[in-house]
Amino acid sequence: MLSGGLGGPAGHDAPRILIVDDDPNLLVLLADQLRADGYEIQTARDGEEALRRLRTAWPDLLIIDMMMPRMDGLSLAREIKGRADLPIIVLSAIDAGDSKADLLEEVAEDYVTKPYHYPELRARINRVLRRLGDKVPRQSLVLGPDLTLDLHRREATVGSEIVQLTPTESRLLYALAANLGQTVTTDTLLARGWAETEDADPSYVWVTMRRLRQKVEVDPNRPVHVQTVRGVGYRLVATDPGPGEPARG
Amino acid sequence: MAELEPRATVGDETPTLEDLTAEEPRGDAGVRFALGLSFRTRLTIALVAAAIIPLAAFGILVLILDPTASQTGTIGRVLLFILVVAATSGILLAYLLAADLTAPLRAIAAAVDRASAGDLSTPIVVPGEDELARLADSHNRLAADLERRNRELGRILQAIQSGSPHDSPEFIAGRAGTDARSAFGMIDAYVLLVDPAQIPEEERIPGESLPIRAVLRGGTEELGVLVGHLPATRLWERADQDLLELYASEVAVAIRNAELFARVESQNAQLLELDAAKDDFLRGVSHNLQTPLTSIRAYADQIGRDRPDKRLGIIAEQTDRLSRMVRQLLTVTRLDSGALHPRPEVVSLAHPTRRAWEALAAADVPFRLDDRAAGWLAVADVDQLDQVLWALLDNAVKYGQRTAVTVEISPEPDTRRVRLTISDEGPGVAEPDRARLFRRFERGADRTADDGSGLGLYVSRELCRAMDGDLVLEPHVAGRGASFSIYLPGEPPEDG
């Protein structure tokens, strides 16, 4: 039932998801829907209960509402992210243009608005779960004198300038950074950047990578960090340290 | 020496000095007259004339009274010799005397030049007690006064510049008192922010400290009064009072600015509060409306999966419509407050178009999608694009009177854009409606009021523009229905 290569690490039977929402109807309904698709579901009615549950069991993914009594989604997301890089999907009735939603979007991996379309929510869950096992530094990733990535803030520092990355660009860079120096296939990037329901094709990857290069390369025509491996995929490369470093024979 | 009479005569000190400075606006050295002769030359000529004319007259008289003397020759030669010697020494003496007399005048003129160039610190030294010495004294005093007032003015300017609009009026008043005290060398000085009439004027008692005051005038308003005392020995002239009043009016302006600034600040804070309250309210509205819709929609979907029923499809579609309308209203308020941040990603327009069409559930309306994008992708916020497409397709179904709807997608490589045109085969847009169609709450004249909110086209166009694109109504073609085009930034295909 889990479509499209749910790439969890070996030993994971079913992905574990903790749903935090104050609407009991939704908790029951969404838990039913996800259980029917083979996920292992836990629920919490508010942020405090969620934090209590996190003490005993660590899920693979959290789905949290934004407006909840006692502790709102933003505080909960920050609290959790302060402890670990646990993926979070926000499921909220507040549309993405809201100022608070903006803040939450910066912390969370994805943002889905209510009323949700179940197949789409499931596709987004799967996309986030594909990054399980990836190790990307939580702090700045210095790739060379002219490029530093801060993927947890969706930022890149190019030269001395800070550029904002779109959610898709950050997802692609996350996948590339987790395999630094190695080629990541276009298909893998496609599965990491887009949900199945988005009907994306490889041209999305090509064009997005081209736009990304315009953003993060000092000279986009002679890319240093984001390299194309013709016919296969892409590779993120850290350059040698500055010219001051003595060469080793 | 009655010839010393012209303007240089030093009888009345001040006007003479004013004359001297007034005559030298270009800063030429020396005192010049209309003839072009210097005062020294004129004085020399006058002195020579005064010495030689009586002597010459005496000689001529002698020659007339004693005609023999002219014949003897000796007397004549002696006389001539005496005349020549007298004339020579007369000219020399006259020149020296004139030079001595005019030297202080030249010194004064040079000092005035220096003073007008800004050097007030070098006094003129003219010994003695005569008029020229007094003239030099008054110049020195004037220069000292000017220098003192310059210093005061400098301190005042410094005091005025050091203010910040964040200071409170009370703080400005307190500091203005301290600044006035140091700038004018007062014993004490206070700025009182009260009606000046409430503060009685102090009487001046000789030998005691000198009371001074200046009203803080801001325009026609009197904001307060500056009062203080000077040492009894201190001279306080009209110019000093003018300077103090100038300062007082600057303080008044600063206080007025501070009051205005404080008012603007508090209004800003109120607006921010209102804005936050509005955001909270909208968040609440959204949450409270969308949460039940979420359950209705999800249950309809779930039941429909177990026991397919057309009526459940209608529930799902109508819930979707309702939640979209809520969202549209929220989007309008976001557009108004400029709080809309699109997140542009690359997307092929065909897929979201098909999805928006499916969401409309208008199975009875013929639909054709003509995708000629040739690999071009649009750059758009997928969520907002969905709102736009849904609203336009909904309009096409509704106002096209359920005739066939056609969507055509094609790239415009020249402008690096992608165009998506939605057309119906209905009656089209009436001419008078074309101009006002994109306004808020506008519908076509013959459209019924219960059809939608009248916000769809307005919101759609604003969303397109927020994504660096546009939405336009295509020109009417006879026999065809309404036709709207979305233009969005495009990306050409890339070979992998």
The tens digit of pLDDT for each residue in B177-192 reads 888 888 888 889 988 8
Q: pLDDT tens-digit profile of A25-77?
A: 999 999 999 999 999 999 999 999 999 999 888 899 999 998 888 888 889 99
* CB-based contact B496 A116, cutoff 8 Å: no
* CB-based contact B496 A167, cutoff 8 Å: no
Topology, domain A141-236: Arc Repressor Mutant, subunit A (1.10.10)
Residues 6+ apart with CB under 8 A from B222: B195, B196, B215, B216
A243 pLDDT exceeds 60?
Answer: no
For the record, the structure tokens of B418 come out as 């992608």
Cβ distance B400 to B366 under 8 Å?
no
For the record, the structure tokens of A240 come out as 């040698």
A224 pLDDT exceeds 60?
Answer: yes
Partners of B388 on chain A (C-beta within 8 Å) are none
Spell out a b/e string for B349-373, using b for 16 or more CB atoms within 10 Å of the CB, else e.
Answer: bbbbbbbbbebbebeebebeeebeb
Q: Give A66→chain B minimum CA distance, Å.
A: 9
Say if strands B417-423 and B405-412 run parallel, antiparallel, or are unpaired.
antiparallel
Instruction: Parse chain A into domains and list their residue ranges.
Output: 16-129, 141-236
Partners of B287 on chain A (C-beta within 8 Å) are 67, 93-94
| CA gap B212, B188 in Å, rounded | 10
| CA gap B135, A73 in Å, rounded | 87
**Which A residues 61-90 touch B at CB under 8 Å?**
67
Phi, psi of B93 (to 5 degrees): -60, -45
CB atoms within 10 A of CB B455: 20
Phi, psi of A157 (to 5 degrees): -105, 110
Given A32, A116, A206, which is nearest B494 (Cβ)?
A206
CATH architecture observed for domain B164-267: 2-Layer Sandwich (3.30)
Partners of A163 on chain B (C-beta within 8 Å) are none
| CA gap A3, A157 in Å, rounded | 36
Bridge partner list, A88: A62
CA angle A174, A177, A182 (to 5 degrees): 130
**Residue A203: what pLDDT?**
93
3-state secondary structure of B484: strand
3-state secondary structure of B212: strand
Q: Which amino acid is at B261?
A: F
3-state secondary structure of A229: strand
Q: Answer whether A202 touches B (CB < 8 Å).
A: yes
Q: Write the ipTM.
A: 0.86
Q: What does each C-alpha distance from A235 to A138, A164, A175, B78, B346 come to in angstroms?
A: 20, 21, 10, 125, 20
Bridge partner list, B228: B189, B212
**Residue B369: what pLDDT?**
96
Partners of A95 on chain B (C-beta within 8 Å) are 286, 327, 330-331, 383
The B221-230 sheet, strands edge to edge: B188-192, B221-230, B210-218
Partners of A204 on chain B (C-beta within 8 Å) are 346-348, 377
| CA gap A168, B1 in Å, rounded | 105
A247 pLDDT exceeds 60?
Answer: no
| CA gap B427, B52 in Å, rounded | 121
Burial class of residue B231 (count of CB atoms within 10 Å of its CB; 0-12, 13-18, 19+): exposed
| CA gap B285, B164 in Å, rounded | 43
- Residue B449 CA, chain-centre distance (Å), reads 50
**Residue A177: what pLDDT?**
92
Q: Answer whether A208 touches B (CB < 8 Å).
A: yes
Q: Answer whether A33 touches B (CB < 8 Å).
A: yes
Instruction: Tell me which residue of B420, B347, B345 sits closest to B389, measured CA to CA.
Output: B420
**Residue A225: what pLDDT?**
94
Bridge partner list, A19: A43, A63
Chain B interface mutation, best of A203, A221, A234, highest count of B Cβ atoms under 10 Å: A203
* CB-based contact A93 B289, cutoff 8 Å: yes
Cβ distance A186 to B496 under 8 Å?
yes
Bridge partner list, B32: B38
Q: What does each C-alpha distance from A226 to A107, A151, A206, A222, A249 come to in angstroms?
A: 25, 15, 12, 10, 27
Instruction: Parse chain B into domains and list their residue ranges.
Output: 2-141, 164-267, 271-326, 341-491
Q: Which residues of chain B have pLDDT under 50?
A: 1-34, 449-450, 496
**Residue B494: what pLDDT?**
79
The CB-based long-range contact list for A118-121 (8 Å cut-off, 24+ gap) reads A118/A33, A118/B298, A118/B301, A119/A197, A120/A195, A120/A197, A121/A89, A121/A91
Chain B interface mutation, best of A19, A206, A212, A226, highest count of B Cβ atoms under 10 Å: A206
Q: Give B346→chain A minimum CA distance, Å.
A: 6
| CA gap B401, B404 in Å, rounded | 9
Specify the CATH number of the domain B341-491: 3.30.565.10
Given B294, B351, B379, which is nearest A93 (Cβ)?
B294
- Residue B435 CA, chain-centre distance (Å), reads 39
Partners of A206 on chain B (C-beta within 8 Å) are 493-496
3-state secondary structure of A41: strand
Alpha helices in B118-216 (DSSP H): 131-161, 169-184
Cβ distance A109 to A152 under 8 Å?
no
Bridge partner list, B368: B406
A16-129 belongs to which CATH class? Answer: alpha beta
Determine the longest span between alpha carbons in chain B, in angstroms.
167
Cβ distance A213 to A220 under 8 Å?
yes
What residues of B are in the A interface, CB distance below 8 Å?
279, 282-284, 286-287, 289-291, 293-299, 301-302, 319-320, 323, 327, 330-331, 334, 339-341, 343-348, 351, 375, 377, 379, 382-383, 491, 493-496
Q: pLDDT tens-digit profile of A78-114?
A: 999 888 888 999 999 887 777 777 777 778 888 898 8
Q: What is the overall mean pLDDT for chain A?
A: 86
Q: pLDDT tens-digit profile of A120-162?
A: 999 999 999 988 878 777 778 899 999 999 888 888 999 889 9
Q: Which amino acid is at B453?
A: S
Chain B interface mutation, best of A29, A154, A207, highest count of B Cβ atoms under 10 Å: A207
Angle between helices A186-193 and A167-178 (to 10 degrees): 130
**Residue B68: what pLDDT?**
66
* CB-based contact A100 B299, cutoff 8 Å: no
Q: Answer whether A98 touches B (CB < 8 Å).
A: yes
Cα torsion through B27, B32, B33, B39, rounded to 10 = 150
Instruction: Tell me which residue of B233, B260, B253 sits closest to B166, measured CA to CA.
Output: B260
* CB-based contact B377 A23, cutoff 8 Å: no
